[in-house]
Amino acid sequence: MGEIVLAAKCTHVPTMLMSEQPGRIHGKRQAAIDGHREIARRAKELGADTVVILDTHWVVNAGYHINANPRFKGLFTSNEFPQFIQDLEYDYQGNPALGDLIAKKATDKGVFTLSHQLDSLELEYGTLVPLRFMSREADFKVVSVAAWCTVHSYETSRKIGEAIREAIEESDSKVLLVASGSLSHKIWANDDYEANNGTFTISSEFNRQVDLHVLDMWQRGDIATFIKMLPEYADHCSGEGSMHDTVMLLGALGWDNYTGKGEIVTEYFPSSGTGQVNVIFPVQP
């Protein structure tokens, strides 16, 4: 029997890659990198062999989609930020059986979901950035789930989370489940970026305060109340991918019955106007 051994909400800011390169960003995101590695270390200690990443940089406009290729190998340059992420080499093994089973479980719940095994379907950087650092601690197999959902309801994304857990428990995989995305996500306007030292600041004090309140709720285990405010939070604070990654994560953990207390492993930090963090969520029966 498989299981989710650890769950986490993780940042994927491109400046993490830049932090290891010469230049003005050098060393500035070490805490976020260390957080990714700590999450991977703990998952490895718990026996994880696979990471399932809910990727808010993979945009989909119809249905739900899973990248379940047997192997992911390539050279990635971001079409969004080609000056930040370019020629990033990657080579990871996949877990196609698990990806296919997640799609079947979701479809059985009435949520149209497709699992793809296509060499030409590339990973997005919401998957590649966490893997860049987590793979230094463990040789995880990879399944990537699209979580930038443009015409999807939170109810169906919750069911995707349930399907992920059911599929994992029916499989022989031990899984680290990662929701890859920010908290608030109002990127600085291009004309205002430099004047506000945009790389290291947040664009809205309101967003920062709500982010900090959310983190306090997570640390207290008040997930049920957070779920009640999640749609408005995602709307008013421009949650990345409308926070469908977080909905899927909580769906897998038990939704409003989940009472686990989040553990912050990288303190909250602003980046390009957005609010970022690494948080571990313990898995409950």
Q: What is the pLDDT of residues 102-158, one digit of tens each?
A: 999 999 999 999 999 999 999 999 999 999 999 999 999 999 999 999 999 999 999
Q: How high does pLDDT run on average in the chain?
A: 97
> pLDDT-derived band of residue 54, with 50, 70 and 90 as boundaries?
very high
Q: Give me the sheet containing 174-180, strands edge to edge.
A: 113-116, 64-67, 141-149, 50-60, 174-180, 3-10, 274-281, 263-271
String of DSSP letters for 32-43: HHHHHHHHHHHH
Q: What is the pLDDT of residues 249-266, one digit of tens each?
A: 999 999 999 999 999 999
pTM: 0.98
| Between 48 and 198, residue with greater pLDDT | 48
Task: Give the span between the Cα atoms of 182 and 130, in whole angstroms.
Answer: 13
Residue 230 has a pLDDT of: 98
Which positions ≥6 away from 247 have C-beta within 8 Å? 154, 157, 158, 161, 230
Q: What is the pLDDT of residues 163-215, one digit of tens each?
A: 999 999 999 999 999 999 999 999 999 999 899 998 999 999 999 999 999 99
> pLDDT-derived band of residue 86, with 50, 70 and 90 as boundaries?
very high
> pLDDT-derived band of residue 248, with 50, 70 and 90 as boundaries?
very high
Query: What average pLDDT does the segment 93-101 reach?
Result: 98
φ and ψ at residue 226, rounded to 5 degrees: -60, -40
Query: What average pLDDT does the segment 90-107 reach?
Result: 98
CATH of domain 3-281: 3.40.830.10
Residue 14 has a pLDDT of: 96
Task: Give the span between the Cα atoms of 84 and 77, in whole angstroms.
Answer: 9
Task: Give the span between the Cα atoms of 219 and 208, in whole angstroms.
Answer: 17
Residue 144 has a pLDDT of: 98
> pLDDT-derived band of residue 35, with 50, 70 and 90 as boundaries?
very high
> pLDDT-derived band of residue 72, with 50, 70 and 90 as boundaries?
very high
